[in-house]
Each structure stands twice: as C-alpha cells, then as structure tokens.
C-alpha cells in the first residue's frame, strides 16, 4: 500500500507518489495499490483502508496528526508484523503521535525538540545519543554528499559499496526521537561548511516495532533526489525487507561510487522542476544514468524553506 494524501507545502505529494510507484514497479516484485487518505483536516469517518491485505505500507503522508480511528489500526498493522517505509517528509510527520515516533526511531521538524528525545548520530562507527537541549531537524543546501554504510551485514545494505555519492539532496541533521530498537544502516557527514553539525547523521534507519519491520529513509527531498540510484536501490531493497524480512534484489551496475553520483533521468523527469536542471549536477555537466558530475557542481541552489 502506497499511502498518500497530504504533505507540508515544501513537499508536494503527487509527484513524490509518482516516483515511488515508478520505482516500486521497476523492481518487478511488488504489486502496489495507491491509497489516498483525506487531507489532515478532512473527514476520515469513511476512510477505513484494509491494511490486512498488504505486507507493507509505504508512507508518503506528512501532517501534524491523524484521528484515532486511523492511528489505532495502523499501529496494530505494524506491531503485528506488517512493514512500514517512511520517506523524507513522511519521516517528519506526526510529532505528537507517540507510537509513530517509536516506529521511525528518530526525526525532526514540526516543532520537535529535546522533549521528543535525544539527538542521534554515529560516532566512531557506533550509534550514540546526546541529551543537549534544543530543536530537532535542519539541513543545508542541496548538494551531493558521501553516504557511508555503518552496518554492511543487514539485508538492505549487504553487497552495497562501503561509501557512495548521493546526488543533491537535503542532508537532515539534529534528528531526535526515542531510538528504541533502532539501527542506523548508513550515515552521512553533515558538513559545517553547509550549515551542518560536523556529525555523521543517520540516512538509512531500521526499527523493530513489535514484530513489524520499519525502514526509514531520511533523504529524498524530491524526484531529483529520489532519482539518485542509491536512493532508488535502497528504497526498493528497504521496502522488500520491510515486507518480508529478506532482500532478493541484485545491486545494479549503475550504483554510484565514492567518486561519482549516478541518477536515472526517467525518474528525475517526473519532477516538474527537472527542466530547470538537476540541482547542482547540471552546472557540473550531468551525463545521465551511470554518469553524473560528482562533487563538481559548484554548490547547490538555496534550500527551500521548511523541510
């Protein structure tokens, strides 16, 4: 179930759903229904999706809250063994829904602060937390950055390179949350030169919630970012893992390297802004799938307000 229907203004949800559906279909192993919930201020009295028909929910819905009539069956689905995948904006949803925050492990924005949990980051190869008071959630400009695998033995990351370049995207920092049963599979260095923390921030998170499996992919601001082959591949693998506990998909030959980004033009083209250029890549001369410009973009355009 690809569950959508509302989002913060910085993340229009219909183009994100189009990307997610295309990438799920491309994997060739998923049958995906798009289920569109009412907007957060809408009437939910007749919205009763049959979660029991599905192995995994891919969430592309970002709002302040849902009614109990939806939260309760959603919690039961995951707690009793269902899979959940949260993508970027959806990763920041529902700040006051305790069980949702347990599911995703760590998050930011939407008024989250130290009341929602400590800061979580990776130090010397270990996940650590820090109780320093303050807000949660920030990012710099959307420029390419290096991702580092922290757990190479998990089904999602097994067989991936140790490091790779992710194309221009929002590198979230200052994520906070309960962090219960949470593992950070991959991190990225949040560079102070780009308004970062100087810490290795979580990028790919997995959480065991009850008997359910949650894959929380923190990056993926827009179709441009989601066209980065590493994003696509980890999304496909993470969704399979959340659904079944296993990953059967092979790593494609165009997976990015430590030196160069790699993206899929057909995915990037689903973004209405693609015609204006692929973020920082364009100024460096992106060459399409398997090519890309690596760090040579000369800086990204300014970040959008909010998330």
Return the SS3 of 53.
Answer: helix
Binding of Zn ion by 142 (CB under 5 A)? no
Are the beta carbons of 188 and 200 closer than 8 angstroms? yes
Q: 9 vs 153, which CB is nearer to Zn ion?
A: 9
Q: What angle do CA 171, 230, 277 make, to 5 degrees?
A: 70
Q: Which is nearer to Zn ion, 19 or 243 (CB)?
A: 19
Report the residue from 75, 169, 170, 271 that binds Zn ion according to the rule CB under 5 A: 170
Considering only residues 212 to 231 of the shown chain, the ones binding Zn ion according to CB under 5 A are 221
For the bound state, the minimum distance from the C-beta of residue 8 to Zn ion, rounded and expressed in Å, comes to 8
Least gap, CB of 170 to Zn ion (angstroms): 5
With respect to Zn ion, which residue has the nearer C-beta, 77 or 109?
Answer: 109
User: Which part of the chain contacts Zn ion (CB under 5 A), choosing from 23-31, 168-176, 191-199, 241-249?
Assistant: 168-176
Residues 230-269 that bind Zn ion (CB under 5 A): none
What minimum distance in Å lies between the beta carbon of 13 and Zn ion?
12
Contacts with Zn ion by CB under 5 A: the residue count is 3
> In the complex, what is the shortest distance from the CB of residue 78 to Zn ion, in angstroms, rounded to a whole number?
24
Residue nearest to Zn ion (CB): 221
C-alpha 94, offset from chain centre: 15
Q: By CB under 5 A, is residue 307 in contact with Zn ion? A: yes
Under DSSP, is residue 84 helix (H, G, I), strand (E, B) or coil? Answer: strand
The reply on whether position 21 binds Zn ion by CB under 5 A is: no
Q: What are phi and psi of 242, to 5 degrees?
A: -60, -35
Cα torsion 251, 252, 254, 260 to 10°: value is: -10
Question: Interface residues for Zn ion in 52-111 (CB under 5 A)?
Answer: none
Cα dihedral value 248, 30, 263, 204, nearest 10: -70
Stretch in the footprint of Zn ion (CB under 5 A) among 27-35, 44-52, 163-171, 260-268: 163-171
| Residue 171 C-beta: closest distance to Zn ion, Å | 10
CB crowding 27-64: b at 16 or more within 10 Å, else e = beebebeebbbbebeeeeeebebebeebebbbbbbbbe
Cα angle 14, 19, 23 (rounded to 5 degrees) comes to 150
102 or 222: whose CB is closer to Zn ion?
A: 222
Tell me the three state secondary structure of residue 165: strand
Which residues of this protein are in contact with Zn ion, per CB under 5 A? 170, 221, 307
């Amino acid at each position: 179930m690809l569950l959508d229907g509302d989002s913060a203004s910085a993340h229009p949800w219909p183009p994100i759903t189009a990307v997610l559906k295309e990438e799920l279909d491309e994997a060739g192993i998923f049958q995906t229904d798009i289920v569109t919930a009412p907007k957060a201020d809408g009437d939910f009295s007749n919205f009763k999706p049959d979660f029991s028909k599905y192995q995994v929910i891919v969430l592309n819905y970002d709002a302040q809250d849902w009614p109990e009539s939806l939260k309760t069956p959603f919690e039961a689905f995951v707690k009793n063994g269902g899979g959940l995948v949260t993508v970027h904006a959806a990763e920041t949803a529902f700040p006051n829904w305790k069980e949702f925050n347990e599911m995703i492990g760590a998050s930011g924005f939407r008024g989250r602060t130290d009341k929602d949990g400590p800061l979580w980051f990776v130090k010397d190869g270990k996940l650590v937390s820090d109780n320093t008071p303050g807000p949660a959630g920030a990012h710099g400009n959307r420029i390419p950055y290096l991702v580092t695998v922290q757990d190479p033995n998990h089904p999602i990351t097994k067989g991936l390179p140790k490091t790779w370049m992710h194309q221009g995207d929002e590198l979230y920092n200052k994520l906070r949350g309960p962090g219960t049963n949470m593992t950070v599979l991959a991190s990225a260095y949040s560079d102070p030169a780009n308004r970062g923390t100087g810490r290795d921030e979580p990028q790919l998170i997995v959480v065991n919630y009850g008997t359910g499996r949650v894959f929380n992919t923190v990056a993926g601001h827009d179709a441009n970012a989601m066209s980065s082959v590493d994003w696509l591949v980890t999304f496909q693998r993470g969704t399979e893992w959340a659904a079944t506990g296993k990953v059967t998909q092979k790593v494609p030959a165009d997976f990015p390297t430590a030196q160069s980004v790699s993206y899929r033009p057909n995915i990037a083209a689903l973004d209405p802004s693609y015609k204006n250029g692929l973020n920082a890549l364009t100024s460096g001369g992106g060459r399409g799938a398997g090519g890309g410009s690596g760090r040579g973009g000369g800086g990204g355009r300014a970040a959008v307000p909010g998330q």
